[in-house]
Amino acid sequence: MEKKKTGISYVFQLAKDERKKLHLGMFLSVISANLSLVPYFVVYKILLMIFQKNILYTEILMWAGIGIISAVLQAILMSFAGILSHTAAYVHFHVEIKLDDGTCYAYSYDFGIRNSYDANEKLSGYVNGAIRRYC
């Protein structure tokens, strides 16, 4: 009997074809999280200059610029991380339901991405869903 996978290993099993997107999304998210700490360090450096009465406006502008750039870069990287991870997660969506009477159903969504778009086609042509009964 094969042990059932749980946690992160189960997520990567479901997203077998989308692992590169998930890995890149996680990497960008880690960088973004680190960049979110930079503005706090910038405030600390500026307050330190003020308390030491060593106020140089060029240095304050430099630290303020670093804080603004890091905040903007953090927002951009977090957006790309979210886009990559959600794109990877919703290319294939699978739900299994087991009812009290022992009946089991599985529902699979397969979001096929097409390169061309025909205005006469219905949106349902882009989403292929199937319900099957098992157990």
pLDDT in tens, 23-33: 899 999 999 99
The pLDDT value recorded for residue 121 is 41
> pLDDT band at residue 107, thresholds of 50, 70 and 90?
low
For the chain, give the mean pLDDT: 76
108 has pLDDT over 80: no
pLDDT in tens, 36-91: 999 999 999 999 999 999 889 999 999 999 999 999 999 999 999 999 888 877 76
Write the CA distances from 66 to 46, 50, 63, 81, 87, integer angstroms: 12, 18, 5, 22, 31
The beta-carbon contacts of 89-92 under 8 Å, at least 24 apart in sequence, are 89/15, 89/18, 89/22, 91/15, 91/17, 91/18, 92/14, 92/15, 92/17, 92/18
The pLDDT value recorded for residue 18 is 78
CA atoms within 13 A on the CB side of 42: 18
